[in-house]
Amino acid sequence: MRVTYLGHAALMAEVGGKRLLMDPWLEDPAYMASWWHFPPLALKLKDLGALDYVWCSHDHPDHFDPKTLLQLPKDTCFLVPQFTSKTLERRYAELGFTNLVPLTFGETVELEGGLRVTNYRTDLVWEDSSLVVEGDGTSLFNMNDCKLSEAAMREIGERHEFDIAFLPFSGAIQFPTCYEMSETRKRELCATRRQGHLDAIVERAKALGTKRVVPFAGNFCLPAPDQAWMNEINNINTPDEAVAALEAGCPDVEPVQMNPGDRWSVDGGLERLIEPPVWSRRLQLVEEMSHTAGAECERLRANEAPARPSLGEDFQRYARELAAQHDELPGRIDANVVFDVRGENGGVWTLCYRADGLEIHEGAHEEWDLRMEMPGTILQQLIDGDVIWDEALISFRIRFAENPEFFNEPFWAMLYSPCPEFMREYIEFDRPLAMPAEDKSGD
């Protein structure tokens, strides 16, 4: 087996003459003109040659990128995790792809060329998955950002005995960067969360019992001028920090730091395409890259369709329909949520969730629990279904304030809600109704 690291969470594995492409985000930017690859991409889709299989772990745009996928032939074979919502199947159909092979979680599927894959679902309620790839006497684990318990990791490791594992090492969530609090408080929370991710890669490596670990699924930056400061006050680790943590925490595991275009195999080891960046200069290198990438982000945002004059009516109808679809949740939410929508045709509305349903008020309620400030262009796209809520949230283009500082998980679950069946899973899942801000999940 030969493995090529393409960037962020994108990999290609070659077994028996067959090529499997995983989580291909190979066109900048992502997340509503916010995310950019860092280090920059070295290979694009056209450089990879013919592909036999493609697998996307879930529908976030840094794993399922329509700009990349639309470059593939329409008869491309997609390996599709069998989530309850069937969101991936619908999105493939919208892009014109119909050659879909279902992957039942936990079952090994034999493909051509001696290639074998096993898909594992996250053991959280959110839809995400990881993939085991086996062939030519080599076993690879692609965890990307799929959360799994220590017990699940141990069970997977015992079943497959990995030669190499690609494990997450960094965070990618809007908290606390986009939240209203002091810079000191943000820095403290970010430092704690960054250390938590480094501790996690060590514990996951131990649980898997893998021979090698590649720090994975965390190489991105935010080059837009209004977001440049977020590259520092964020949950982002660098791969060399993850390597140092692995060397200190599990010396029996070999850390392998891969950069875009690098290849690895059991026999050949690591083959570098280009020299890695000096990670201690990350912020300076990102700033240099921002001169061109930042201008492109600004251009793309300037071309976003403006919010329609009916935005206020559209939003209130959207909120009422969502609450009616999930009438079990307003009472669990029990909060006043202010939407402060800026720009053309914007306004301020408060959604008041109670046991007897939803009330909507013009203006900001004086006893608000959560406040969200966003451009009208983003809210319009959310209402129209052009983007999903997770995409908007992780774009780092929405600002938040909490009063008190608590995470109202039922509210976010309702916004996510890809289908009624998913919501039933959420309600039946044993989750707290709210949690301290320090414990926010998602990255």
**Residues 147, 64 within the same domain:** yes
Element (H, E) at 185: helix 183-208
Domain that holds residue 52: 2-293
**Residues 346, 414 within the same domain:** yes
CA distances from 271 to 2, 43, 274 (A): 10, 15, 9
Which of 237, 266, 293 corresponds to the end of one domain? Answer: 293
Q: Is residue 275 situated within a structural domain? A: yes
Indicate the pLDDT class of residue 435, thresholds 50, 70 and 90: very low
pLDDT in tens, 87-135: 999 999 999 999 999 999 999 999 999 999 999 999 887 899 999 999 9
Amino acid type, 40: P
Q: Is residue 301 situated within a structural domain? A: no
Domain with residue 337: its CATH number is 3.30.1050.10
Alpha helices, DSSP H, located in 277-329: 282-302, 311-325
pLDDT of residue 443: 54
pLDDT of residue 328: 83
Q: Is residue 359 situated within a structural domain? A: yes
**Residues 132, 17 within the same domain:** yes
Q: What is the dihedral of CA 18, 24, 27, 30, to 10 degrees?
A: 180
Q: Could you give the number of structural domains in the chain?
A: 2
pLDDT in tens, 246-299: 999 999 999 999 999 999 999 999 999 999 999 999 999 999 999 999 999 999
Which of 267, 293, 319 corresponds to the end of one domain? Answer: 293
The sign one gets for the Cα dihedral 124, 160, 3, 269 is positive
**Residues 26, 145 within the same domain:** yes
Higher pLDDT, 7 or 432: 7
Q: Is residue 419 situated within a structural domain? A: yes
Task: List, in order, residues 6 or more apart from 364 with CB less than 8 Å away.
Answer: 338, 340, 348, 350, 371
Query: CA gyration radius for the chain?
Result: 22
**Residues 357, 266 within the same domain:** no
Least confident range of 160-164, 219-223, 326-330:
326-330
**Residues 279, 399 within the same domain:** no
Indicate the pLDDT class of residue 438, thresholds 50, 70 and 90: very low
Q: Is residue 18 situated within a structural domain? A: yes
Q: Is residue 259 situated within a structural domain? A: yes
Distance CA 350, CA 340 (A): 9
**Residues 268, 315 within the same domain:** no
CA 156 to chain centre: 22
**Residues 147, 231 within the same domain:** yes
Domain with residue 40: its CATH number is 3.60.15.10
Residue 419: is its pLDDT beyond 70? no
**Residues 284, 317 within the same domain:** no
Closest CA to 148 of 189, 88, 105: 105
Q: Is residue 138 situated within a structural domain? A: yes
**Residues 289, 362 within the same domain:** no
Distance CA 28, CA 20 (A): 21
Q: Is residue 133 situated within a structural domain? A: yes
**How confident is the prediction for the chain on average, in pLDDT?**
93
Beta-bridge mates of residue 12: 4, 21
**Residues 288, 177 within the same domain:** yes
Which of 260, 293, 326 corresponds to the end of one domain? Answer: 293
**Residues 90, 188 within the same domain:** yes
pLDDT of residue 107: 97
pLDDT of residue 413: 84
